[in-house]
Structure 1
């Protein structure tokens, strides 16, 4: 069991959730405020996407990422920042010509995905480790794109969070490490419950965990009603955890949540199991992250 848990809050995501929950952050100001709310509730890390302020839909606008980062960094509440670099992979075949992307498709090159990370240098960024039937669309992430993207992240000196939505993604992430494209102890995020990837259950999480390198740090999350059970399960199996409105909109059945409430509920579970949530400073030291103010890599452990 892991007694010192890094708790990430994924505050907004890019999914079509704004129509279901009016409290999902949309503007850069709202997203930054959600990160600060999560920090005050006890989160170690804030994971961010940005959205089009007018429509609430997907955005990759560097200016939006910059505004979020600046607002959070200027606040008096510390939190480790994790920028998504996994956008721009959505493929929906056109109904009349399946060789072309139809409405809703959103494809970026590795360099385009990496641009906010290269410019803003967060402590962490995501690196999604494979393609997937993601609900009714296909998430496109060819192996050569991943290698190129891993090189860009490595050159920037940002630690990648290796997001694995299926067992083959863990395999490929290990391959990136073997090829020297991942520096230091790798950080994995096991993403569970997304149709049609890895299921959100104990057997699946255990199997994926057992395939990780011996020097890996890892976390896991489940979506929807699986969110809180997977917090407990990840901790019991030796990992870290993630919650937030990107993955789940509800505090209880029929009760819409805020990011802060989800963090508080997860922290309570961790505390009741005999653990504690690591501070942002402890998280930087544990993962050997580059400090945003000094640029120095933090050393030590919690």
Structure 2
């Protein structure tokens, strides 16, 4: 049966990608413009990280978030804004003493990781549901820290997007829901292909989808070359989709994506070819329960 499918665009992320594709936005003005163009192309949701304009690295600077959100809202009051809380979770053991943080560590307190959520009150914010090896670093999200972050998010009346990279993350999220630490509506993002989480395969997506709590809405994405196949797979399995330069720098083999909008346009064609309309921001709000 045909249904409106929501497209989320993850605009920039926090990885070391700026040098690999010049289309990756860095400044608040660039991030906002890229988000607005993605919305015009069909994205009902824009997922936002901010970067230090001088270093291009991930940032927790409240002023950068405030400026970026303000620029988006000045031009588009309808698009659903989803701010990350993932920045501040990386740990790299020191070479001489693994108890001490080494270069690349970005650990921050739950309070600092959610400060912009408390102040700016976006529609949605991501909440990464567990600890895992991610590339050569540890992505650290302990149950205690997640409970603290969830409390701030609930008090701000923001819907958490529960990002799950492996099956254990779904189990932790379900336990927190049962304990009342995560309040409705329940929204999941199934993240596939990230080293060393679940692979970007049909079997992995179906397995994690069937673990989700009854009534939860869900999105899924695959990174890199898996982005567009996972768009189709998520739609077929009943979910919504995410694309964007955070997850994938290419439009095709050897062809750098010129913009986030170009990635959204490709996703629109895939969704419509399968037989579904693209959800508007108003429809996305209704489907998710914002």
**TM-score bracket for this pair, using the shorter chain length:** over 0.9
- Residue 39 of structure 2 is matched in structure 1 by 39
Structure 1 runs, 4 residues or longer, greater than 6 Å off? none
CA shift at 1:77, angstroms?
6.6
| Distance in 2 (alpha carbons) for counterparts of 1:120 and 1:155 | 12
User: Aligned residues, how many?
Assistant: 289
TM-score using structure 2 length? 0.98
Query: Counterpart of 1:194 in 2: which secondary structure?
Result: coil
User: What per-residue deviation string (whole Å, max 9, x for no partner) do you get for residues 139-164 of structure 1?
Assistant: 01111111111111111100000000
Name the CA distance, whole Å, in 1 between partners of 2:116 and 2:47. 14
Describe how 1:251-270 pairs up with structure 2 within 5 A.
Answer: 251-257=251-257, 258-270=259-271
Q: Which residue in the other structure is 1:140 paired with?
A: 140
* Structure 1 residue 2 displacement after superposition: 6.6
Give matches, 1:232-247, under 5 Å: 232-247=232-247
What SS does the aligned partner of 1:218 have? strand
Any idea what the Cα deviations from partners look like across 1:175-204, whole Å, max 9, x if unmatched?
111011222230000000001001100000
Segments of 5+ residues of structure 2 without an aligned counterpart are none
TM-score for both structures, normalised by structure 1: 0.94
For structure 1, the 5+ residue unaligned runs are 290-302
- Give the Cα–Cα distance (whole angstroms) in 2 for the partners of residues 200 and 240 of structure 1: 15
3-state SS, counterpart of residue 161 of structure 1 = strand
CA deviation profile, 1:51-102 (whole Å, cap 9, x unmatched):
0101111111000000010000000473100000111000111111111110
**Contact 1:2-1:238 at 8 Å conserved across structures:** no
Question: How do 1:115-264 and structure 2 match up within 5 A?
Answer: 115-257=115-257, 258-264=259-265
Root mean square deviation, CA, Å = 1.0
Give the CA deviation at 1:205. Answer: 0.4
**Kept after mapping to 2: 8 A contact 1:2/1:235:** no
1:18-37 correspondence runs (5 A): 18-37=18-37
Q: Contact 1:218 / 1:240 at 8 angstroms: preserved in 2?
A: yes
